[in-house]
Amino acid sequence: MVVLVVNCGSSSLKYILYDMRTETVAATGLIERIGGGGDQHAVVHHRPTDKDRVDYESSIEDHYAAVQETVKLLTTGEGKVLNHLDEIDAVGHRVVHGGEAFCSAVLINEPVIKAIEACVSLAPLHNPPNLLGIRACMAALPGKPQVAVFDTAFHQTMPRRAYLYALPYELYERHGIRRYGFHGTSHYYVARRAAEMLTQMGRDGAHARIVTCHLGNGCSMSAVADGVCVDTSMGMTPLEGLVMGTRSGDIDPAIIPFLEEKLGKTGAEIERMLNRESGLLGLSGTSNDMRDVSEAARNGHEGARAAVDVFCYRVRKYIGAYAAAMGGLDAVVFTAGIGENSPELRERILMGLSFLGLDVDPERNRSGRGDRVISTPESRAAAFVIRTQEELVIARETLEACKQAVAAG
């Protein structure tokens, strides 16, 4: 089965074409600056496996045109990897917010589209372009199964004590105000992979208590016990939780009206500050990229040092909290850009967690490639670095949803 995975942003479309017989990638691509208007053209990057890359600029007015461009790239020209569109068996779509309606991937039909539309108020920046991508693929590939895979689905197993906020209960009942969590496909993948690795080590992976740390420009953590999510750091929106590239993470909510009064800013302006001007960028005053911030910190920049300190402290605090919530700890997983590529920060985060039975091996942490153990052989809890594969999860869940539909008749 050949599965096309599509991830639509407000002005972008990412795609990966998988041959699911071998779970290999036939091509990847990105179309940026869709609908720029005027003299601004979209930028197209097409990466066929085992062929030369294709890069060019073109006038692409909307997501419908972007999907048509994707289809053309896959089936014609120097970057061609398919002879005909009929070779695509299904399309899997990343959808950011499924609210409480979806706890697994689903075949897309009009009721599903309406349910995704109903979640637009919860994810106004993400769900509308996700819907555009769905509509565009339905038009370009009529009759092909379209499957929605939700960032929020993995977290729907959280108990009420973890997802409710201590607000008037009617706000949850009427407006859906609760913790939803995000990065679900990443947390799901690395938690399952960690369970497999624990089993290979002769430990009980199936019933393990695992803390997964997705650390990139956006950061979130999850507590996973017996294979299901029991808590996660992001909340109703991706703003809550850890320090991120430009997001503040956890703050005292009373800061918002305080800033309204002191700075004369509107709620929308403060929301922008918290989402776009805070985090590593706000603390360091230098960059939202941890590589730049870490370099500045090593060179003695005080703001950058503060940003790294707060970042590592917040992750370490959540590890301790989730270990307490699960009644113990069997593994910690690091994934995504920072988690996979910064041994310095991994060591700083894990430093002082011996009381949880977790001891990092400095040599293992600094060396090695791929999915690996970075804790000492004697460590009661394991520490892993695992490369996240969110698109592969989407492809797998798309395939599974199609199989279930066929079985159901």
N-to-C CA span, the chain? 19
Classify 78 as helix, strand or coil. Answer: coil
Is 397 within 8 Å of 104 (Cβ atoms)?
Answer: yes
Is 141 within 8 Å of 147 (Cβ atoms)?
Answer: no
Look-up: residue for tokens 């607000």? 167
Catalytic residue (one of 39, 89, 151, 289): 151
Is 294 within 8 Å of 342 (Cβ atoms)?
Answer: yes
Give, as one character, the DSSP assignment of residue 119. T
Instruction: Note the helical H segments in 76-108.
Output: none
- For residues 61 and 295, give the distance between their C-alpha atoms in angstroms, rounded to a whole number: 40
Q: What six digits make up the tokens of 370?
A: 């791929």
Task: Name the β-bridge partners of 54.
Answer: 46
- Backbone CA torsion sign across 394, 400, 405, 408: negative
Q: Which helix (H) or strand (E) holds 2?
A: strand 2-8
| Phi, psi angle pair for 22, to nearest 5° | -120, 0
Strands 209-215 and 13-19: unpaired
- For residues 3 and 13, give the distance between their C-alpha atoms in angstroms, rounded to a whole number: 16
Strands 90-95 and 146-150: parallel
359 is catalytic: no
Q: What six digits make up the tokens of 151?
A: 């960032």
Cβ neighbour number for residue 37 with a 10 Å cutoff: 9
Q: Which of 104, 194, 210, 113 is nearest to 150 (CA)?
A: 104
Q: Which of 124, 394, 395 is nearest to 238 (CA)?
A: 124
Full DSSP string of 196-239: HHHHHTTS--TT-EEEEEEESSSEEEEEEETTEEEEES--SSTT
Is 325 within 8 Å of 231 (Cβ atoms)?
Answer: yes
Is 274 within 8 Å of 239 (Cβ atoms)?
Answer: yes
Active site residues: 151
